[in-house]
Amino acid sequence: MKLEVLNTSGQKTGKSVTLDATVFAIEPNDHAIYLDVKRYLAAQRTGTHKSKHRGEIHGSTRKLHKQKGTGGSRKGSIKNPLFRQGGTIFGPQPRSYDIKVNKSTQRLARKSAFSYKAKENNILVLDTISMDKPQTKEFASLLKNLSLDGKKTLVLIPERNDNVFLSSRNIEKTNVQIASLVNTYDIMNSHNVVFVGNAHEVVTELLKK
């Protein structure tokens, strides 16, 4: 797939890049995408929820009344779950929600997601983004020049650039990521993908393994 390289004004630079067909033009595997997105969302859960069972409640363990002959049920101590402020039966406990997905499946999922974007012609290539300091207005102007303002946009940069990160973080629906750290959820959750510089080569090198 051949794409024209644009500048920050949204104009063609006369240069073009060819996206690797083994990454951007495969037959998408929906199930691999489902598994990897599920893995990513599950990993976002902290799993720190907790309720106290009867053994952790502060209170006396004295038996409230004799076992038989009262006509009432057997209750044990004041910590019994039947009582107000008693322990919780089968309440939530701290746990990990991590799901294991093979690395080959994760790569297939990302390639499938990129192939969907390529098939929909929602991939752009930008020659460079240079910012001397964080400036949200300048980044918003860049999106407007590319006709991406108001659209969910994933911007992939080849290496860490704090000025670009800080300039974009207050812009709604815009997500800037380092190309080597891109995940399936961010790709599928965006309408357009913008590669900056040689970010597409970084992704290709990562996913062709």
* pLDDT range class, residue 44, cuts 50, 70, 90: very high
Whether residue 49 has pLDDT greater than 90: yes
Whole-prediction pTM: 0.84
User: How confident is the model at residue 131, as a pLDDT?
Assistant: 87
Helix (H, G, I), strand (E, B) or coil at 91: coil
| Cα–Cα dist 193/170, whole Å | 18
* pLDDT range class, residue 140, cuts 50, 70, 90: very high
Report the CATH architecture of 2-45+101-207: 3-Layer(aba) Sandwich (3.40)
b/e sequence 131-140, b meaning 16+ C-beta within 10 Å: beebeeeebb
Q: Where are the domains of the chain?
A: 2-45+101-207, 47-96
Give one DSSP letter per residue of 100-168, joined into a string. ---HHHHHHHHHHHHHHHHHTT-EEEES----SS--HHHHHHHHHHTT-TTS-EEEEESS--HHHHHHH
* pLDDT range class, residue 132, cuts 50, 70, 90: confident
User: How confident is the model at residue 10, as a pLDDT?
Assistant: 86
